[in-house]
Amino acid sequence: MADSRDGVLLMDKNEGETSFNVVRKVRRVLAVKKVGHAGTLDPFATGLLVILVGQGTKLSPFLMGGVKLYRATIRLGMETDTMDPTGRIVKTTPVAGLEPGWLEACARRFVGEIEQVPPVFSAVKVQGRRAYDLARKGIRPDLEKRTVTIYRLDVEAVDLPDVTVTVACSGGTYIRSLAADLGRRLGTGAHLKTLRRLGSGSFTVDRALDSGTLESPVARETLEQEMIPLEASLPDMQEVQVDEAAAARIRQGYQPQWEELRRGAGPPREAEGHVKIVASDGLVAVMKTGAAGAARSSRLKAVRIFHPSNPY
């Protein structure tokens, strides 16, 4: 079987803690060298942090792109240089008399594909340097716009100058930029006061362990008990079961045809996508299917291979 320290952990990050610190603590508690995460949270933010452990780090490309769900409080009438509560106030504007109906109408205009500029205080690289390193030295890097998708932007509560919203968005969306852009559209300016990640892909924060658990005397036992196995970490990906002989061949580099694996069971769910290959000892591989029209006859290409034991 794969090492019990291969898989995915769901942590509920506390305010004031960096995502890297959570990763570092998991690495220490489990005595595992390879630990990462599928999407950082700023120190002031709380909520779901998807931690990848051991061979789980190979799942990053398949988990990073999932839909993200947030609850955010936006403070209108106050802009900061970081677009969040940690920054210096650079402008204030009165917000009295702002109509809730106008606010909701403005918010709806952000639903769909939009362009946004990442915050100057962000980890985006500019000529090999992090934007926040330049910003801290008083240099404002010229950051390129990026296209992101806002699937939902619902106004949940209005208690001026604060507005609470829920946002479902694509990976790579900056909620700080969204808050600032909404403030500009309203004519009041704004910054992101609080942020909590509620979900990422198929994972939700209600299943997560409080990051304070990492300081518990029984932290190791708790993490090992709550570890999501590799094969269960991609619940939305089509699964193909193979026997031990086929698993061994695939791990050695064999590229099977789709029809070999699913005789009489029909084509993959997507004409061009990924399937996970699973055997009795766990996840064997994530493989890319062929293009439309050739899906049943073309060979599957291994994107990631997973072994039944993981040397550390």
Q: Which residues contact 295 (CB under 8 A, 6 or more apart)?
A: 258, 267, 268, 271, 272, 289
Check residue 197 and report its DSSP letter.
Answer: E
- For residue 241, pLDDT beyond 50: yes
Q: Give the model's pLDDT for residue 294.
A: 42
pLDDT of residue 7 exceeding 90: yes
Pairing status of strand 238-241 against strand 274-279? parallel
- pLDDT of 129 above 90: no
Question: Which pLDDT does position 98 carry in this prediction?
Answer: 87
Q: Look at the block and give the residue holding tokens 């988990």.
A: 63
Q: What per-residue confidence (pLDDT) applies to 141?
A: 61
Q: What SS3 string covers 205-244?
A: HHHCEEHHHHHCCCHHHHHHHHCECHHHCCCCCEEEECCH
The whole-number average pLDDT for the span 47-75 is: 95
Mean pLDDT score, 232-255? 92
Q: Which residues pair with 152 in a beta bridge?
A: 168
| Total number of residues shown for the chain | 312
Band (292; pLDDT cuts 50, 70, 90): very low
Q: What is the pLDDT of residue 14?
A: 97
User: Is 181 an active-site residue?
Assistant: no
pLDDT average, residue stretch 242-251: 93
> Residue 283: is its pLDDT beyond 60?
yes
Strand partners, 209: 11
Q: How confident is the model at residue 4 (pLDDT cuts 50, 70, 90)?
A: low
- pTM, two decimal places: 0.89
Distance CA 296, CA 294 (A): 6
Q: Is the pLDDT of residue 122 over 60?
A: no
Query: Which of 216, 305, 195, 225 lies closest to 9, judged by CA?
Result: 225
Q: How far apart are the first and last CA of the chain?
A: 15
In DSSP terms, which residues pair with 55 in a beta bridge? none
Percent share of the chain, pLDDT over 70? 84
| Lowest-confidence region among 79-88, 154-163, 291-300 | 291-300
pLDDT at position 149, please? 97
What is the three-class DSSP state of 7? strand
Using an 8 Å Cβ cutoff, are 39 and 23 in contact?
no
- What integer pLDDT is reported at residue 137 of this predicted model? 57
pLDDT, tens only, 93-113: 999 888 889 999 999 999 999
**How many Å separate Cα 48 from the centre of its chain?**
9
How far apart CA 196 and CA 208 sit, in angstroms, is 13
Q: Which domains does the chain have, with CATH numbers?
A: 7-65+202-231 (3.30.2350.10), 68-200 (3.30.2350.10), 237-305 (2.30.130.10)
Mean pLDDT of 120-124: 61
Average pLDDT score over residue span 138-146 = 70
Per-residue pLDDT, 312: 42
Measuring CA to CA, which residue among 210, 231, 235 is closest to residue 48? 210
Least trusted range by pLDDT, from 67-76, 200-209, 288-297: 288-297
pLDDT bin (cut points 50, 70, 90) of residue 119 is confident
Annotated catalytic residue, options 3, 12, 42, 84:
42
pLDDT at 166 over 80: yes
Q: Is the dihedral of CA 114, 119, 124, 128 positive or negative?
A: positive
